């Protein structure tokens, strides 16, 4: 193979043979960061993450946390939770021996594609729901209302992840990626199963209407580039994220079937990239931490209830509102004598103090 290809042959981390260009071989002293090389073949080394990123990812995924709490936002449209991140990289995937991989959520794919688009010049990212909204409007009125196109920002390239495989876009079961390249007047289709290589007549009419202000797509070509292929039924989402990154970085992929081990490495890589700008202090609290906080609040509430001689009493315990009332022989419900006040949060118990020039009133909210 070395003689026929004229390239060095090496064995990857999981025993896969890989032909690599000499110009892009990784030197032993190069840092293992989240940047990928320009090589068109898959190599674990290209998608290896550094130890700090791995520790950060492991800390976030370890332990019981509120998975529904918003974790990160990309622009005004794309918000993900810890549950979405775990669909990309559950904790068990950090164990090299595990190959159990869940289906990526739409939110996870949309967020990562938009994040990749933001990293490139003159590139914007849309979501799977954008095409669904266009589809509904086009099916009903044979035109797409301008209100549904408000997220079409001026750009030379638009990344659009799609759900396909069902009777309608709303019942899809497979992720693919459309890349609109306005500079080349080309629509590139990335499908890791190799089934949806072209655009059907209905979709092309819809897209021509969507992009009518940009001249339509009449003179465009549809291209299905060589790309990495999947051999399972759960990893199409991670292939879409990888294809988006390869396209914006102008890396031409060779057609190559990736193993589950390769997909596991890609999942860790993309998850680490997703939380790159997330600070550790912004992680959702663990259930143990929440239980400790609730226990402290309950004890403080009991102590507050016993203060019968106090001039003021916080009713925010039950109402979860910053409102105070007098409790001794007065019908007034608010402290009209307090004109200005500031809130200060305790760094230890995470409760709040209301500080005024006349008195200090305590409440946990």
255-300 pLDDT, tens per residue? 999 999 999 999 999 999 999 999 888 888 776 776 676 667 677 6
pLDDT higher at 97 or 158 = 158
Is 0.85 surpassed by the pTM of this model? no
Residues 189, 131, single domain; the answer is yes
d(CA 156, CA 183): 6
**What average pLDDT does the segment 4-32 reach?**
49
Condensed to tens digits (0 to 9), the pLDDT of residues 235-248 reads: 999 999 999 999 99
Shared domain for 266 and 297, answered yes or no, is no
The domain boundary, picked from 282, 305, 325, lies at: 282
Last residue of a domain, one of 226, 257, 282: 282
Q: Tell whether the model's pLDDT for residue 25 goes beyond 70.
A: no
With respect to residue 50, please indicate whether it lies within any of the assigned structural domains. yes
Distance between CA 50 and CA 52 in Å, rounded?
6
Is 70 exceeded by the pLDDT of residue 320? no
Query: Of 245, 264, 282, which residue is a domain's last?
Result: 282
What pLDDT does 182 receive? 94
What value does the mean pLDDT of the chain take? Answer: 79
Q: CA separation (Å) from 226 to 25, 35, 200, 270, 276?
A: 22, 22, 20, 21, 29
Amino acid 170: pLDDT: 86
Tell me: the pLDDT tens digits for 109-128? 999 999 999 999 999 999 99
Which H or E run includes 239?
Answer: helix 236-248
Whether 302 and 258 map to the same domain: the answer is no
Residue 175 binned pLDDT confidence (cut-offs 50, 70, 90)? very high
Whether residue 24 lies inside any domain: the answer is no
Q: What is the mean predicted confidence (pLDDT) over 150-177?
A: 91
Residue 185 pLDDT: 94
Residue 219 lies in a domain: yes
The confidence score (pLDDT) of residue 365 equals: 39
Q: What is the pLDDT of residue 63?
A: 74
In this structure, the answer to whether residues 179 and 304 fall within a common structural domain is no
pLDDT given at position 65: 85
- Could you tell me if 312 and 257 lie in one domain? no
Within this chain, do residues 246 and 175 fall inside the same structural domain, yes or no? yes
Looking up residue 94, the CATH number of its domain turns out to be 3.40.395.10
Q: Are residues 117 and 202 in the same domain?
A: yes
Does residue 294 sit in the same domain as residue 333? Answer: yes
Q: Is there a single domain that holds both residue 182 and residue 321?
A: no
Residue 331 pLDDT more than 70? no
Per the structure block, which two tokens stand in for 64? 């019981």
- Tell me what pLDDT residue 356 has: 45
- Span between the terminal Cα atoms of the chain, in Å: 68
Are 197 and 275 in the same domain?
Answer: yes
Q: Quote the number of domains for the chain.
A: 2
Give yes or no: residues 301 and 277 share one domain: no
Distance of alpha carbon 231 from the chain centroid: 24
Domain check: are 277 and 343 in the same one? Answer: no
Asked whether residue 26 is assigned to any structural domain, the reply reads: no
What per-residue confidence (pLDDT) applies to 10? 62
| 3, part of any domain | no
Question: CA-to-CA distance for 127 and 106, rounded, in angstroms?
Answer: 8
Quick one: which of 46, 24, 17, 31 has its CA closest to 269?
Answer: 46
Residue range(s) defining the domain that contains residue 262: 39-282
Please check whether residue 23 lies inside any domain of the structure: no
In a domain, 7, yes or no: no
Torsion over CA of 114, 115, 119 and 120, rounded to 10 degrees? -20
| Confidence at residue 54, expressed as pLDDT on a 0 to 100 scale | 92
Higher local confidence (pLDDT), 254 or 343 = 254
160 in a domain, yes or no? yes
pLDDT-above-90 percentage for the chain: 47
For 216-245, what is the mean pLDDT?
94
Residue 323 has a pLDDT of: 45
The string of pLDDT tens digits covering residues 69-102 is 889 999 888 999 999 999 999 998 887 666 779 9
Is 90 exceeded by the pLDDT of residue 156? yes
């Amino acid at each position: 193979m070395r003689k026929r290809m004229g390239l060095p042959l090496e064995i990857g981390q999981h025993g896969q043979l890989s032909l690599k260009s000499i110009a892009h071989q990784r030197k032993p002293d190069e840092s293992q960061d989240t940047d990928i090389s320009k090589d068109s073949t898959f190599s674990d080394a290209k998608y290896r993450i550094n130890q700090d990123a791995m520790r950060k990812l492991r800390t976030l995924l370890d332990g019981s946390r509120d998975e529904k709490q918003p974790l990160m936002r990309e622009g005004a449209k794309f918000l993900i939770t810890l549950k979405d991140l775990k669909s990309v990289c559950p904790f068990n995937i950090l164990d090299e021996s595990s190959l159990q991989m869940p289906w990526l959520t739409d939110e996870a794919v949309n967020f990562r594609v938009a994040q990749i688009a933001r990293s490139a010049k003159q590139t914007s990212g849309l979501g799977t729901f954008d095409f669904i909204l266009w589809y509904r409007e086009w099916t009903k009125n044979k035109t797409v209302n301008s209100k549904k196109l408000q997220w079409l920002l001026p750009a030379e390239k638009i990344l659009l992840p799609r759900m396909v495989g069902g009777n309608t876009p709303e019942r899809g079961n497979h992720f693919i990626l459309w890349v609109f390249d306005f500079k080349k007047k080309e629509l590139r289709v990335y499908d890791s199963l190799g089934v949806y290589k072209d655009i059907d007549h209905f979709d092309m009419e819809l897209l021509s209407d969507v992009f009518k202000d940009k001249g339509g797509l009449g003179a465009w070509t549809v291209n299905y580039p060589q790309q990495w292929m999947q051999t399972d039924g759960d990893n199409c989402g991670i292939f879409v994220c990888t294809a988006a990154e390869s396209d914006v970085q102008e890396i031409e992929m060779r057609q190559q079937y990736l193993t589950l081990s390769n997909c596991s490495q890609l999942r860790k890589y993309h998850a680490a990239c997703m939380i790159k700008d997330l600070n550790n202090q912004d992680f959702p609290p663990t259930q143990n931490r929440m239980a400790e906080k609730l226990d402290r609040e309950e004890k403080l509430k009991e102590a507050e209830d016993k203060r019968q001689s106090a001039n003021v009493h916080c009713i925010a315990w039950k109402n979860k509102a910053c409102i105070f009332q007098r409790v001794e022989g007065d019908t007034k419900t608010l402290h009209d004598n307090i004109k200005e006040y500031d809130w200060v949060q305790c760094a230890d118990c995470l409760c709040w103090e209301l500080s005024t020039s006349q008195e200090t009133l305590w409440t946990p909210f």
